[in-house]
């Protein structure tokens, strides 16, 4: 389940980790409720491992970018056309997602804001 209340209760009774489901096991639907998973991660004092439903490297990266400590994946690798290549993709996605989380996402803005420096720009004069 990706229920934040249940996750907190499991932590309080002494569970060593909580494992919210991304989506139904074996479904490959990805993270169907990333808001609840984010709440679990934000409030947990124990490791959070996203389990079930991960169907692609994108899903793995997203789970890690949310701040998950790890993912558990089986079906996406076992049923891929190339299990070896999917396993490699998952490894790289987990690393990329974790690095992205640690680097820190930029603030979302309502409009575009240039990040290019204005100093040293040569202006075209006719």
pLDDT of residue 120: 67
Whether the CB-CB separation of 17 and 48 falls below 8 Å is answered with: yes
Mean pLDDT of the chain: 87
What angle in degrees, to the nearest 10, is found between the helix axes of 34-43 and 4-12?
A: 30
What is the reported pLDDT for 47? 93
| pTM (two decimals) | 0.79
Q: Could you read off the pLDDT of 51-106 as tens digits, one per residue? A: 888 999 999 999 999 999 999 999 999 999 999 999 999 999 999 999 999 999 88
CA atoms within 13 A on the CB side of 60: 23
**pLDDT mean over 15-24:** 84
Return d(Cα 33, Cα 23) in angstroms, integer.
Answer: 8
Residue indicated by tokens 């690095």: 99
């Amino acid at each position: 389940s990706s229920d934040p209340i249940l996750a907190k209760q499991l932590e309080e009774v002494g569970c060593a980790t909580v494992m919210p489901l991304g989506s139904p096991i074996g479904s490959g639907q990805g993270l169907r409720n990333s808001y609840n998973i984010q709440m679990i991660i934000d409030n947990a004092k124990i490791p959070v491992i996203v389990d079930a439903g991960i169907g692609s490297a994108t899903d793995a990266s997203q789970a890690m970018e949310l701040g998950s400590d790890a993912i558990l994946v089986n079906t996406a690798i076992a049923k891929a056309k190339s299990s070896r290549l999917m396993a490699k993709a998952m490894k790289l996605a987990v690393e990329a997602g974790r690095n992205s989380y640690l680097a820190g996402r930029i603030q979302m803005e309502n409009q575009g804001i240039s990040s290019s420096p204005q100093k040293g720009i040569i202006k075209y004069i006719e």
